[in-house]
Structure 1
Amino acid sequence: MTDTYDPTRTAILLVDPYNDFLSEGGKVWPALEPVATEVGLLDNLRAVVGAGRAAGQKVFFVPHRRWQEGDYEDWEHPNPTHRIIQERRTFAFGTWGGEFHPDFRPADGDVVIQEHWSQSGFANTDLDFRLKQQGITHVIVIGLLANTCIESTGRYAMELGYHVTLVRDATAAYRPEMMHAAHELNGPTYAHSITTTADLLSTLENGDH
């Protein structure tokens, strides 16, 4: 891995670390659990966030809209994901499922971005503005889901001029073929680096930043 990460110019984008996604009893966890377990998702998320903070990188929480009564009901073009969220009330505001996983809660110095309504953490939020105000040029995108919010956020970041790193095993999806599409087919069209948690940690620990 040849990429370098200046900690003053690099941010970790932690996307949608909600209990509904990551915790036993979460509404979406049963669908994610096989892939998440196979890749070691939770341990790898902990490792990347911990190493990033240790290296002095900023952590930006990039949360999905927490469902509230009335969401999407009067929309002209809700997409299939919106309909599913509306039906099962995923990440409902004021509920345990809509809280961040206990291992992934904002610490001092972290930044919590406005909630995104669809799949990109940039569209209709303050993410780009907040990154630019911190002088960030490189983003490491982790969290969920690999083929939706991670891909959309990473692709949008590239369009805005950021250096984008994807971490194969610090994300998950519902099926292995979705992971394959995210990292083998689509990721190479926009990401500057597609790596693993172990390789990323080695880079940070060796001072390549």
Structure 2
Amino acid sequence: MAVYDSGSTGLIITDPYNDFMSEGGKLWPRLKDVAESVHLHEHMREIVVAARAAGITVLYSRHRRWRPGDYENWRNATPYLQRAAKLQLFAADSWGGQWHPDFEPEPGDVLLHEHWAQSGFANTDLDVQLTQRGLDRIILIGLLANTCVESTARFGMEHGYHVTLVRDATAAYTAEAMHAAHEINGPTCANEITDTASLVRVLAGP
């Protein structure tokens, strides 16, 4: 398995919003079965703790928090984006658009510019934040496995980053989507596809 040291690695936490991860969140009912089957919250917590202990930079990849007027008059807003606007997902200044309490940023973490669609790289400062810190390895956890996480992984690969996916530290709406993200699409863009226990052991060092 790859080596992840503090001088070259960034942990990217994708969209740990209440709307995704908390009881009462707008999308939690759709995610709950898969998230609980992989112990999403527990595994994300373990990885974040291990990364911080290893001195690894933690970056928050943030989906656009809905605001009035978003996506209106867009020529090519996809049905996916249109549904997000209708639901007012992660609305700014709302509980749903706040961080899940287990994943509040800490001093020194990097809060990236919000992405409008799926990739944490597209139209954000992720690339420059990594480059300026000399980080060329990225570990991706969070939501959703087959959309934002996968898109960020693919974009990262195109930029030349070493990409690691963690099967049980992400979730999707269905088991089929998880399978696609990790068994079909993931191998085309990730250098490593692992699980939480294996990753935490490596982060802990010899």
- TM > 0.5 fold call: yes
| 1:42-76 C-alpha deviation (Å, 9 max, x unpaired) | 00010111100000000000000000011001100
Counterpart secondary structure, 2:102: coil
Counterpart residue number, 2:87: 88
| 1:30-49 C-alpha deviation (Å, 9 max, x unpaired) | 00000000000000010111
Counterpart residue number, 2:35: 36
| 1:89-123 C-alpha deviation (Å, 9 max, x unpaired) | 11001100000111111101100000000000000
Counterpart residue number, 2:130: 131
Counterpart residue number, 2:140: 141
Alpha-carbon distance, 1:192 to partner: 0.1
TM-score normalised by length of structure 1: 0.97
Matched-pair contact (CA < 8 Å) for 2:5–2:54: no
Alpha-carbon distance, 1:203 to partner: 1.0
Matched-pair contact (CA < 8 Å) for 2:145–2:177: yes
Counterpart residue number, 1:187: 186
Counterpart secondary structure, 1:44: helix
Q: Which amino acid aligns with 1:152?
A: S
TM-score normalised by length of structure 2: 0.99
Counterpart residue number, 1:68: 67
The worse-fitting range, judged by mean Cα deviation, of 76-85 and 21-30 is 76-85
Counterpart residue number, 1:103: 102
Distance 1:52 1:168 in 2: 17
Q: Which amino acid aligns with 1:158?
A: M
Q: Which amino acid aligns with 1:83?
A: Q
Number of aligned residues: 206
The 4+ residue runs of structure 1 with deviation greater than 3 A are none
Q: Which amino acid aligns with 2:88?
A: R
Q: Which runs of 5+ in 2 are unaligned?
A: none
Alpha-carbon distance, 1:206 to partner: 2.9
Distance 2:83 2:49 in 1: 33
Counterpart secondary structure, 1:139: strand
Q: How do 1:11-50 residues align onto structure 2 when only pairs under 5 Å count?
A: 11-50=10-49
Distance 1:49 1:133 in 2: 22
Distance 1:102 1:58 in 2: 20
Distance 1:18 1:6 in 2: 28
Distance 1:90 1:187 in 2: 26
Matched-pair contact (CA < 8 Å) for 2:146–2:172: yes
Q: How do 1:104-119 residues align onto structure 2 when only pairs under 5 Å count?
A: 104-119=103-118
| Residue identity (%) | 56
Distance 2:79 2:135 in 1: 33
- Confirm whether residue 172 of structure 1 aligns to residue 155 of structure 2: no
